[in-house]
Structure 1
């Protein structure tokens, strides 16, 4: 079952936007749960120069089946031109937790 679960991540430079992206994904059953990390400092190249920003990392717990819909939803809702979007495979975990992720993201 672990192979069916992924953690997908993005960032936002606005805490309220991060919360909206988290809540919306859970309400839409695209993610079973979402964690928002405390502000982090990001350094990155943008339009030919190094930028720095305070951001909130948003981690979505979802299934491989729901991942394409979550990604499409995120790109529609996210204000960035190119939002970070990475996925991390879950290679293990408690069966109860992994089952919960599958149950909570099941399409009605």
Structure 2
């Protein structure tokens, strides 16, 4: 874990949802369960992808979630349960650096059994 100058123990997880209402429902559950500290819902996304042999163009919203590495397994399981997609997106990237008080807040809000 890094000290006051870095981004200790924080990861950024991202996913998409079909609309803001679905994202808000998922985000509320994940924050309530302390699996994430925060979710930003970014509207206006167009996803272009191949699914079942067909190239699709769909409107979606982006969900940016902040949590600690030890919560990722539980987050992965819960996203799979809450998400309406058969194969929901979930990508997790380490945070290399960040404002120490914010990173501490993320860690505090997601404290759990994984420590």
Residue 43 of structure 2: aligned partner: 38
RMSD of aligned alpha carbons: 1.2
Tell me which residue corresponds to 1:48: 53
- Assess if the C-alpha contact under 8 Å between 1:3 and 1:89 holds in 2: no
- Which blocks of at least 5 consecutive residues in structure 2 are unaligned? none
Number of equivalent positions = 108
How much has 1:3 moved relative to structure 2? 4.8
- Give structure 1 stretches of 5+ with no counterpart: none
Runs of 4+ in 1 over 4 A off after TM superposition: none
Q: Structure 1, residues 45-95: CA drift from partner, whole Å, max 9, x if none?
A: 001010010000001100001111111101011110111110111000111
1:54-65 → structure 2 map (5 Å cutoff): 54-65=59-70
User: Which of 8, 12, 24 is 2:13 aligned to?
Assistant: 8
Which residue number in structure 2 is paired with residue 102 of structure 1? 107
TM-score of the superposition, structure 2-length normalised?
0.89
Cα deviation code 1:6-61 (max 9, x no counterpart): 01111011221111011111111000111000221110000101001000000110
